[in-house]
C-alpha cells in the first residue's frame, strides 16, 4: 500500500526520485506530470502509448512508488480531481469530438474555433492547478530583485519580450536577453546575487535559456522558471517554478495561458510596489 496521501505529495516524490528512475519510467513520469488532470479517465494503454512505453512499464512505475498496480495509483488521482477537472474534461471531450466528426476540409472559422477551444482548455487547467503560494513567492522574487533579466528563445521569445516591456513600467532595471549576434553569454554575464532571471522555456527546451539559467545559479542570482514540467531540465535551476500547460491544436501550442500568467505577475508586482497601474501612462508619452 502506497504511503502517499495525495497527488501533490506523490508528484513531489516522483520529482525527488526522477533522476534515479530508468529511462522508460522517466517517460511515464513526464507523461503523468503533464497529464495529471486527465489521468483519472485514461486507460493504462493510453498512458503507455502517450509515454512511448509498454503497459507493463506503467505498472512497474506504479509499483515503484508503493502502489499495488496502476488501478490503485489512478484512484489517487480520481479521488483528488473528480470535481476539479470537470470543466477541463468537458472542453477536452468537445475538442476530441470535433476531431472525430471532421469529415472533410475545415473552414477557416472552424480552425479558429478549434484554437479558441484549445486556449480555453489551457486556461481552465491553469486555474485548476494554480498554486497561490508559489505565485506569491514569484512576486516576492520580483519585489526583491535589483535587476531583472528575462530570457526565452524561439516560440517563447514573444512572451519574454512582453514581460520585459511590462516590467519596464516599474522602477526595476530590466534586461531582455535577446541573444542578438549570438551574445547570450555576454548579455547574462553581469547578473549577480541580488538579481533575478526569469527563464521561460517549453519542450524542446532552448539550450540558450538553460545556459542562462545555469549561469544565474552559478552567480548566486535567483531564477524564476516558467515552464510546463517540474521534471524538465529548467526545473533544476529554479528557485521558484510556475507551471503552465498550454492547449494545442493542429500540433501548434497556444500562448494564451503563458501570457495570462505573465500579465498576472506584472499586475501583482505593481500592487506589491504600491504603484497604480494607470500611472504607468505619463502625460506627454506615447499612448500604446
Whether the per-residue pLDDT at 4 is higher than 60: the answer is yes
Residue 221: count other Cβ atoms within 10 Å of its Cβ: 22
Q: For the segment 144-173, what is each residue's pLDDT rounded down to a tens digit?
A: 999 999 999 988 999 999 999 999 988 899
Q: For the segment 204-213, what is each residue's pLDDT rounded down to a tens digit?
A: 788 899 999 9
Q: Bigger pLDDT: 85 or 115?
A: 115
Long-range CB contacts (< 8 A, 24+ apart) of 93-102? 95/121, 95/249
Rounded-to-integer distance, Cα 218 and Cα 193, Å: 9
- Confidence class for position 245, pLDDT limits 50, 70, 90: confident
Lowest mean pLDDT among 50-64, 104-118, 145-159: 104-118
- pLDDT value for 100: 56
- 240, β-bridge pairs: 224
DSSP string, 40-90: GG--HHHHHHHHTS-HHHHHHHHHHTT-SSHHHHHHHHHHHHTTTTHHHHH
- Confidence class for position 263, pLDDT limits 50, 70, 90: very high
For residues 3-14, give the mean pLDDT. Answer: 80
- 202: which 3 cell numbers? 517549453
Q: Bigger pLDDT: 185 or 33?
A: 185
- 139: which 3 cell numbers? 512576486
Whether the per-residue pLDDT at 275 is higher than 70: the answer is no
- Confidence class for position 87, pLDDT limits 50, 70, 90: very low
Whether the per-residue pLDDT at 61 is higher than 70: the answer is yes
3-state SS class at 148 = strand
66 vs 2, 10, 25, 222, CA distance in Å? 4, 10, 14, 35
Whether the per-residue pLDDT at 85 is higher than 50: the answer is no
- Across all residues in the chain, what is the average pLDDT? 82
Q: Bigger pLDDT: 285 or 51?
A: 51
Amino acid at each position: 500500500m502506497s504511503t502517499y496521501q495525495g497527488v501533490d505529495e506523490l508528484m513531489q516524490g516522483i520529482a525527488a526520485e526522477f533522476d534515479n528512475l530508468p529511462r522508460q519510467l522517466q517517460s511515464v513520469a513526464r507523461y503523468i506530470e503533464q497529464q495529471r488532470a486527465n489521468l483519472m479517465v485514461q486507460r493504462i494503454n493510453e498512458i503507455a502509448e502517450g509515454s512511448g512505453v509498454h503497459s507493463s512499464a506503467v505498472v512497474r512505475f506504479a509499483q515503484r512508488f508503493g502502489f499495488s498496480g496502476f488501478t490503485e495509483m489512478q484512484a489517487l488521482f480520481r479521488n483528488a480531481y473528480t470535481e476539479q477537472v470537470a470543466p477541463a474534461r468537458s472542453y477536452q471531450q468537445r475538442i476530441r469530438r470535433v476531431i472525430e466528426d471532421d469529415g472533410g476540409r475545415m473552414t477557416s472559422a472552424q480552425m479558429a474555433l478549434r484554437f479558441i477551444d484549445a486556449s480555453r482548455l489551457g486556461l481552465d487547467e491553469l486555474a485548476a492547478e494554480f498554486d497561490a503560494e508559489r505565485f506569491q513567492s514569484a512576486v516576492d522574487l520580483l519585489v526583491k530583485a535589483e535587476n531583472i533579466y528575462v530570457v526565452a528563445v524561439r516560440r517563447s521569445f514573444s512572451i519574454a519580450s512582453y514581460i520585459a516591456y511590462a516590467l519596464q513600467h516599474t522602477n526595476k532595471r530590466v534586461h531582455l536577453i535577446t541573444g542578438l549576434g549570438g551574445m547570450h553569454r555576454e548579455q547574462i554575464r553581469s547578473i549577480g546575487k541580488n538579481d533575478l532571471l526569469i527563464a521561460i522555456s517549453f519542450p524542446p527546451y532552448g539550450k540558450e535559456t538553460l545556459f542562462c539559467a545555469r549561469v544565474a545559479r552559478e552567480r548566486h542570482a535567483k531564477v524564476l522558471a516558467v515552464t510546463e514540467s517540474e521534471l524538465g531540465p529548467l526545473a533544476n535551476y529554479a528557485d521558484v517554478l510556475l507551471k503552465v500547460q498550454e492547449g494545442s491544436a493542429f500540433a501548434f501550442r497556444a500562448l494564451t495561458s503563458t501570457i495570462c500568467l505573465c500579465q498576472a505577475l506584472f499586475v501583482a508586482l505593481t500592487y506589491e510596489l504600491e504603484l497604480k497601474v494607470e500611472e504607468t501612462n505619463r502625460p506627454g508619452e506615447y499612448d500604446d
